[in-house]
Amino acid sequence: MAPTKTLLRALAGEILPTPPIWMMRQAGRYLPEYRATRAQAGDFLSLCYTPDLAAEVTLQPIRRYGFDAAILFADILLIPQALGADLWFVTGEGPRLSTIQSAGDFAKLKGGADIHDHLGPIYETVRILAQELPKETALIGFAGAPWTVATYMIAGQGTPDQAPAHTLMTEHPDVFDALIDLLTEATIEYLSAQITAGAETVKLFDSWAGSLKGDAFTRHALAPAKRIIGELKSRHPDVPIIAFPREAGDGYIGFARATGADCVAIDNSVSATWAAKHVQSDGCVQGNLASSHMVTGGQALVDETRAIVQAFQGGPHIFNLGHGITPDADPDNVALMIETVRATETV
């Protein structure tokens, strides 16, 4: 049966007169209702692991804006915690983890198929959302890609250039490769369980793919994505998959063909015109308004939004930002973006 939800129709390759819209990090700190629920939870991880509250913050932007899709509220670093890494969040600074810098550190982790007891609350959140979302709203599950998650596990926190991960890759390739393999296995299991719970599509976030160049990009961004997508397709052949190798540049070209992804999300370091020519030729693209427009608003937001919709009108397109919305965004600018997308005429 052909899909009826607009997001799923675009993922199936349909060219729509108005692209479906959602935003990365659409449930987040820019919304006062999110901040209230976050305070109720007590801390970020408690919010992630309390299904009723996680479902509530997932639903908040749907109620406010009527997005065409909701994305599960969770965090990419829940998998490392499920694998046995220590995880905590420092207020104002972000996540911290125990580090993986040696074979001994790696040996303390669990197998990738042993994560489900820990992640059970996440699957319950998906089940709640599958029941409570409006019938026209698609439900997106997600995970971080192995390379991106590994960068945090190796450094113990986010880093500007992922240097600790690059160092481990060079100096201890056996440990690095084992970690990538473990994360690949765990990601397959995690996303498959989300789909079983009710996710209608899933997205693989490789936020730091752009720091991989040449053969390293092929081995550590493209190859794990291909393995994950291939296995998910074998288990769930009708579920579309979105891949996001952020700041991949020319690496975006052919990424869908090489990995089997149904859609490639693109950041705003490449233009919509370029992506329409080089990426959309292989199928659906998602993107790519600069998130800074959600802060500054005005005519520049309107003009760039229209330009993106028109650039991608010749093929399947999902409108989104080029990166996640930031906490200082103005909720009114989100409404203006949505209004502009839905009012933009395409030829």
Distance in angstroms (rounded) separating the CA atoms of residues 98 and 87: 7
Q: Give 130: exposed, middle or buried? Use CB within 10 Å, 0-12, 13-18, 19+.
A: middle
Annotated active-site residue in 29, 35, 96, 219: 29
Q: pLDDT tens-digit profile of 297-338? A: 999 999 999 999 999 999 999 999 999 999 999 999 999 999
Q: Mean pLDDT of all residues in the chain? A: 97
Residue 238 buriedness (CB in 10 A; 0-12 / 13-18 / 19+): exposed
Are 114 and 188 within 8 A, CB to CB? no
The residue from 25, 30, 206, 282 that is catalytic is 25
State how far the alpha carbon of 321 is from the alpha carbons of 5, 7, 326, 342, in Å.
20, 15, 11, 15
Q: Tell me, what's the pLDDT at 113?
A: 84
Coil, helix or strand for 248? coil
Beta strands 87-90 and 263-265, pairing class: unpaired
Q: Is 49 a catalytic residue?
A: no
Give the pairing of strands 241-245 and 284-289.
unpaired
Residue 39 has pLDDT above 80, yes or no: yes
Q: Among 38, 49, 190, 282, which one carries the catalytic annotation?
A: 38
Per DSSP, helices labelled H in the chain are 6-11, 32-41, 44-48, 51-65, 78-82, 103-107, 116-132, 146-155, 163-171, 173-197, 215-217, 223-235, 255-259, 272-278, 293-296, 298-311, 331-343
pTM confidence score: 0.97
Residue 227 is a catalytic residue: no
Candidates 34, 123, 152, 252; catalytic one: 152
- Whether residue 235 is predicted with pLDDT greater than 70 in this model: the reply is yes
Using pLDDT thresholds of 50, 70 and 90, give the confidence band for residue 238: very high
Q: Which one of the listed residues 68, 75, 206, 282 is annotated catalytic?
A: 75
38 is a catalytic site residue: yes
Entry field: residues in the chain:
347
Show the tokens assigned to 119: 């992640």
**Predicted pLDDT at 345:** 80
Q: Report the CATH architecture of 6-343.
A: Alpha-Beta Barrel (3.20)
- pLDDT the model gives residue 347: 60
Asked if 152 is an active-site residue, the reply is yes
Predicted pLDDT of residue 91: 83
Instruction: Identify whether 29 is a catalytic site residue.
Output: yes
